[in-house]
A and B are shown apart, each in its own frame.
Chain A
Amino acid sequence: MSQTTTAVSLLSFEEALEKFDPALGLEVHVELNTASKMFCGCPTGFGAEPNTQVCPTCLGLPGAMPVVNRKAVESAMRIGLALNCEIAEWCRFARKNYFYTDMPKNFQTSQYDEPICFEGYLDVDVDGEMFRVEIERAHMEEDTGKSLHVGGATGRIHGADYSLVDYNRAGIPLIEIVTKPIMGTREQAPLIAKAYVAQLRELIVALGVSDARMDQGSIRADVNLSLAPAGSGTLGTRTETKNVNSLRSVERAVRYEMQRHAAILDGGDSILQETRHWHEDTGITTSGREKSDAEDYRYFPEPDLVPVAPSREWVDELRGTLPENPTVKRARLQAEWGFSDLEMRDTVGAGAMGLVEETIAAGASPQSARKWWLSELARRANDTETDIAALGVSPADVAAVQALVESGAINDKLARQVFDGLVAGEGSPEEIVAARGLAIVSDDGALGAAVDNAIAANPDVADKIRDGKVAAAGALIGAVMKEMRGQADASRVRELILEKLT
């Protein structure tokens, strides 16, 4: 039985830090958005009918051979350059040999000791402070197929009677980006891990090389974590947590593993070097396969492919296509948007930089874009434990909602109901306003009746106004708004009250 049902003891985060130093390592797989696969001309679209995007090569049929996709190599190099990496003058693909039913050839065509990009870094902004994450390598490889597990209670792999495999995803190009061990993060380890993945994702979006959808698996993070006695400067035994499919989970998984490791080490036991699985629903990790030295991938150079030797001219040409450096860009945008340091930091911290930028591009003012994403939408993401980008609300939606507010068609309170509708997938903001009947009433007939009711129900307040205490109108406006369930044009209500009483 897996450890899912076993009680796992955790040390408190604070106590874990008192006793141990964490070391992080992050392996991020980026699925490229090339039109065709890494080694064959099959399309890469998401959600096609099973086994309709396959050919002899990506199905691993006997005799078929791979040919490298030039665009995938360029995307790999552009990612490497954006991460300040060296680009290899000469490198090869290698076969990583292991048996797995999702893998048609029972080896993965990858790169081993000759990655195309190596020795880079990414400066990560954590609460306004820069932390440099060093990149060991970024290499090219291919994705696997996908299995559907049939039978058993859970629909998961364990306990299934058999599995059904679709190879459409097999052979889609992946870039694996591996950091060096990240030391000295202390209590910031979970935040730095999250910020690194968030910023890497931003970079990938800016490069335009991937859909960068964590929820669809086009960016996948594996989190390596180890603890060593505080101040020892050594590295402990690590675990590799897979299946961490949101920014929020990156942070939570690091925190969880730190607490779990700490409890085990504190109890005098040792950490098993193993793969673990993150469970988004329960917020815990469970043991996967043991990663022992007996696992022997028998790497060797792929004899069906020739070396990749990018000329320096080619590398320079690609360097010329890089988007603005995110740090520089952030400073520029802060100035353009007129955000305070705190506002900017919150925006970055919420993983909403790109979303805010796109919302502004869609016509919203910087402050309104920030307001909706960071108050309303960040709260919803937090409440529902989803990624802010995966709420189902697009930057264009937010800009449209703000436009409705500014036109007076709805107010801020009604806008929240529009967001409810967007999250529930009820259509565009305009459609939701119409369908839910959210438009503000400014028709004098309907408002007049409500104003009369309010005056009748609050004679004392009406008298005060008649006596010239205009400020008292607020109480009547409130009563009208209540009767109109918030859908009244407040300024018109005020005018009507004053007309009737003065």
Chain B
Amino acid sequence: MSAAVTDWTRRTAAQLADALAAGEVTSVQLTQAHLDRIAAVDGDVHAFLHVDAAGALAQAAASDARRAAGTPASALDGVPIAVKDVLATSGLPTTCGSRILEGWLPPYDATVVARLKAAGLPILGKTNMDEFAMGSSTEHSAYGPTHNPWDLDRIPGGSGGGSAAAVAAFEAPLALGTDTGGSIRQPGAVTGTVGVKPTYGGVSRYGLVALANSLDQAGPVTRTVLDSALLHEVIGGHDPLDSTSIDEPLPDLVAAARLGAAGDMTGVRVGVVTELGGEGYQPGVLARFQESVDLLVEAGAEVVEVSCPHFVHALAAYYLILPAEASSNLAKFDAMRYGLRVLPEHIDNPSAEDVMRATRDAGFGDEVKRRIILGTYALSSGYYDAYYGQAQKVRTLISRDFAAAFEQADVLVSPTAPTTAFKLGEKLDDPIAMYLNDLATIPANLAGVPGISVPSGLADEDGLPAGIQVLAPAQADDRLYRVGAALEALLEKKWGGPILDRAPELNGVSA
């Protein structure tokens, strides 16, 4: 990168906000810079399903007009953002990575999208994802996989691989993701970015096309902890359109991030969860995790080992609850009111039933069908108690484990994902192997507690990024930001700069 030319895409959102406030750049300029970057590299990365250049530039121009009038809508007014395609955007295609919603233009905005617009963030486009957020690799997108900017032959994690890759490839300074079992945090870990799953109920789900309603949560996808805090404050808080939304103010997240960045962890009790590590975890991932914990100790934290004995059942509970809720949520995709309609071959004058069956067969991918059938089974009258009912009880046990652990520690930590990014195609037809990627992230969704993934470094075996996850009690999201920002500061000091500085240059980057 030439020192003479400012590359606005390399800045953090906080830096961009400062530059906008100082009049060093306009929103149109930096929105255009990101659109140019997308044009240059997204052919290789495929982070976006839809780019809305005209819309983003119009919003940027409106932002510049507010700045000129001295009435910016928020601290991030004018900083562009990418939005996961599972969030409804009025008049912008929203496919959830599925054929069945190809071409659907929602007549309404998700609450989080409405809040982005109200805060003045130009929306660059919609990012790729596993179909209906079912997956951990973004390979289950009906529109082709997203590639990891660290190694284009590898997965960017999932389901929100598009948002993570867009941020990692400097195509957007900020993105929104959604996390049902790790879909924000696990992509963050394998792309060297930051991702936050807020407390369940802390961010509105209205307009988030539900995968598993009792587990889903939208959250920030960024390159720095401070940027996540800034974005979290824009999208978070009570929404009367979401009955499960918490009607209380958010903690001061930005202040917590700034406090944490000073690096002092004195008095903070950090619990290492015995059950989230060891067997099944890649040695390089564990090594980076241990180094991170050591840094926290050096910074004054008190580290204790805590046991959460029921976490071993979390994955099983998750793969009963999620398919059950999903099978019901996805019933609405029936070719009658919106989306794809496929007429069955070889049937004259087909009935509505025939058309539903043919459309759902043609419109859903394998993983979606697997989970719908599994969920239909789990809810069937003969099996409900043994499966869905038991899974809900295990959920109680996992919540109790968390409650006990948070008696001993202010935050819990673990590796975010058991491995670094694997090769595209490697686990595509082995569902169980794919599901194991979410081993460490799922308990937080089952209990509704918040979590953040922060880069922990590069694994020795493959030189690919790994992540450390920090979990906090419900509604104590500020603790994520304090500890996350401290880890980020301590690690970057050790590395001599952000981890993404060590990512390979992508084709198309100008010299």
Q: Measuring CB to CB, which residues of chain A are less than 8 angstroms from any residue of chain B?
A: 56, 59-68, 95, 97, 99, 101, 104-107, 161, 163, 165, 296, 298-300, 303-306
The binding surface of chain B is classed by DSSP as loop
Cβ-based interface call for B155 (8 A): no
Judge whether A65 and B380 touch: CB under 8 Å. Answer: no
Give Cα A95–Cα B328 distance, bound, in whole angstroms. 8
CB distance from B511 to the nearest CB of A (A): 43
Q: With an 8 A cutoff between CB atoms, is B257 at the interface?
A: no
| B residues less than 8 Å from A64 (CB atoms) | 108, 206-207
26 contacts between A and B (CB under 8 A): A56-B207, A60-B332, A62-B94, A62-B209, A63-B206, A63-B207, A63-B210, A64-B108, A65-B243, A66-B243, A67-B241, A67-B243, A97-B379, A99-B331, A104-B337, A105-B331, A106-B334, A298-B328, A298-B376, A298-B384, A300-B328, A300-B384, A303-B214, A303-B244, A304-B205, A304-B244
- Closest Cβ of chain B to A290, distance in Å, is 16
Given A67-B243, A68-B243, A303 contacting B107 (CB threshold 8 A): no
By Cβ-Cβ distance, the 7 closest A-B pairs, closest first, are A106-B331, A298-B379, A303-B213, A303-B214, A63-B207, A62-B209, A63-B88
Residues of B within 8 A of A67 (CB): 240-243
The secondary-structure label for the interface of chain A is: loop
Starting from the known contacts A62-B209, A306-B243, 11 additional A-B residue pairs (CB-CB under 8 Å) come to A56-B108, A62-B96, A62-B333, A63-B207, A64-B206, A65-B241, A67-B242, A105-B332, A107-B331, A299-B379, A300-B379
Binding site for A on B (CB under 8 A): 87-88, 94, 96, 101, 104, 106-108, 110, 205-210, 212-214, 240-244, 324-325, 327-328, 331-334, 336-338, 349, 352-353, 356, 376, 379-381, 384, 388
Question: In angstroms, how far is the closest chain B Cβ from the Cβ of A108?
Answer: 11
B96 pairs with A56, CB closer than 8 A: no
How distant is B385 from chain A, measured CB to nearest CB, in Å? 12
A262 nearest CB across to chain B (Å)? 32
From B239, which residue of chain A is reached at the shortest CB distance? A65
Q: Do residues B243 and A165 form an inter-chain contact, with CB atoms below 8 A?
A: no
Closest chain B residue to A306, Cβ basis: B243
In the bound complex, CA of A66 to CA of B245 (Å): 12
Residue of B207, B324, B328 with most partner-chain A CB within 10 A: B328
- Report the minimum CB–CB distance from B333 to chain A (whole Å): 8
Report which of B87, B209, B244, B324 forms a contact with A300, defined as CB distance below 8 A.
B324
Chain B proximity of A145: nearest CB distance (Å): 10
Question: What are the residues of chain A within 8 A of B240 when measuring CB–CB?
Answer: 67
Residues A300 and B207 in contact, CB atoms below 8 Å apart: no
Q: Which A residues lie within 8 Å of B241 (CB)?
A: 65, 67
A61 to B88, CA, bound (A): 10
Residue of A63, A105, A304 near B110 (CB, 8 A) is A63
Nearest CB in chain B: distance from A176 CB, A: 20
B residues near A105, Cβ cutoff 8 Å: 331-332
- Residues from chain B with a CB closer than 8 A to the CB of A304 are 205, 210, 213, 243-244
Contacting pair B209 A104 (CB below 8 A): no
Q: Which residues of A contact B104 (CB under 8 A)?
A: 62
Q: Is the CB of A65 within 8 A of B206?
A: yes
Set of chain A residues within 8 Å of B210, measured between Cβ atoms: 63, 304
Give bound CA distance, A68 to B380, whole Å: 27
Closest to A293 in B: B381
Complex Cα spacing A104 to B339, Å? 13
Compute how far the CA of A296 lies from the CA of B375 in the bound complex, rounded to whole angstroms: 13
Q: Are A296 and B337 in contact (CB under 8 A)?
A: no
Contacts of B333 in A (CB 8 A): 62
